[in-house]
């Protein structure tokens, strides 16, 4: 419950928060098995210490800190939502071939999520799925002018339209590397030369892999349960 607010807006639907709670728990167990050197998910769960969360890559906020951040009245409402999402999914994780899997997620897709093939064969449970609601998000489209002298050449894209490889002068970069270097919303890019400079039009917010949180929340608004949402984004788990 202390990790959830750093990953997803607490204003999201209860079913969306439940889906994220399962994602957090699964990622936490998987990371803990590696961190504490055990093949037993149960042993890993018992070994988890708050002091180790940051080292494992998780941002944790205590309930006292959240009360100070939100104010008492808002904290009461938000705390109830957080605890309900955690309690109603208690003990639930997603596994593939009997083992916890890494579950990536992002804010908004470019209209569809990406195939896990870009990460390797072991991510075959990440299939590209349509995300029609994402086009409604205020974060769906972002335009920036880049301080580059020449127009970069996009040499490879994946099936969802995200850049896999791009040439900047004599340098060849991965799409995510280019995105991070120029602080772009995503690597689903269109680039063109304008009088102002190189214009970058980015679709979506985040890497585009796994669950789109905006799409998931809109699906929850239409009545989908957290299990249906998880099954939509993570196949055969």
pLDDT band at 50 (very low <50, low <70, confident <90, very high): very high
Q: Band of the pLDDT at 13, cuts 50, 70, 90?
A: very high
Confidence (pLDDT) at 56: 96
pLDDT of residue 116: 95
- pLDDT, residue 90, reads 96
pLDDT of amino acid 146: 95
Give the N- to C-terminal CA distance of the chain in Å, as an integer: 23
* Tens-digit pLDDT profile for residues 51-110: 999 999 999 999 899 999 999 989 999 999 999 999 999 999 999 988 999 999 999 999
Please report how the helices 14-36 and 226-233 are oriented relative to each other, as an axis angle in degrees rounded to 10: 60
pLDDT tens track for 158-205: 999 999 999 999 999 999 999 999 999 999 999 999 999 999 999 999
pLDDT single digits (tens) 205-216:
999 999 999 999
Q: Which of 116, 108, 212, 202 lies closest to 154, judged by CA? A: 202
What is the SS3 assignment for 210? coil
pLDDT at 210: 98
Cα(99)–Cα(56) distance, integer angstroms? 18
Q: Where are the alpha helices (DSSP H) in 108-155?
A: none
**CB burial class (10 A; 0-12, 13-18, 19+) of residue 55?**
exposed
């Amino acid at each position: 419950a202390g990790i959830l607010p750093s990953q997803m807006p607490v204003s999201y639907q209860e079913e969306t928060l439940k889906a994220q709670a399962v994602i957090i728990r699964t990622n936490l167990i998987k990371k803990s098995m590696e961190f504490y050197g055990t093949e037993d998910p149960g042993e890993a769960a018992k070994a988890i210490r708050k002091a180790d969360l940051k080292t494992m890559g998780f941002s944790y906020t205590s309930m006292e800190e959240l009360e100070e951040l939100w104010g008492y009245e808002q904290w009461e409402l938000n705390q109830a939502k957080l605890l309900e999402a955690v309690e109603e999914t208690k003990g639930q994780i997603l596994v593939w071939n009997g083992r916890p899997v890494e579950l990536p997620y992002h804010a908004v897709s470019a209209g569809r999520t990406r195939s896990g093939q870009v990460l390797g064969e072991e991510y075959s449970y990440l299939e590209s799925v349509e995300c029609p609601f994402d086009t409604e998000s205020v974060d769906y489209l972002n335009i920036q002018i880049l301080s580059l002298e020449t127009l970069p050449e996009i040499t490879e894209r994946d099936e969802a339209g995200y850049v896999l490889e791009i040439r900047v002068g004599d340098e060849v970069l991965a799409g995510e590397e280019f995105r991070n270097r120029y602080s772009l919303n995503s690597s689903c890019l269109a680039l063109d030369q304008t009088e102002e400079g190189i214009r970058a039009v980015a679709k979506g917010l985040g890497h585009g892999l796994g669950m789109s949180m905006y799409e998931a929340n809109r699906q929850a608004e239409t009545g989908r349960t957290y299990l249906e949402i998880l099954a939509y984004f993570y196949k055969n788990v």
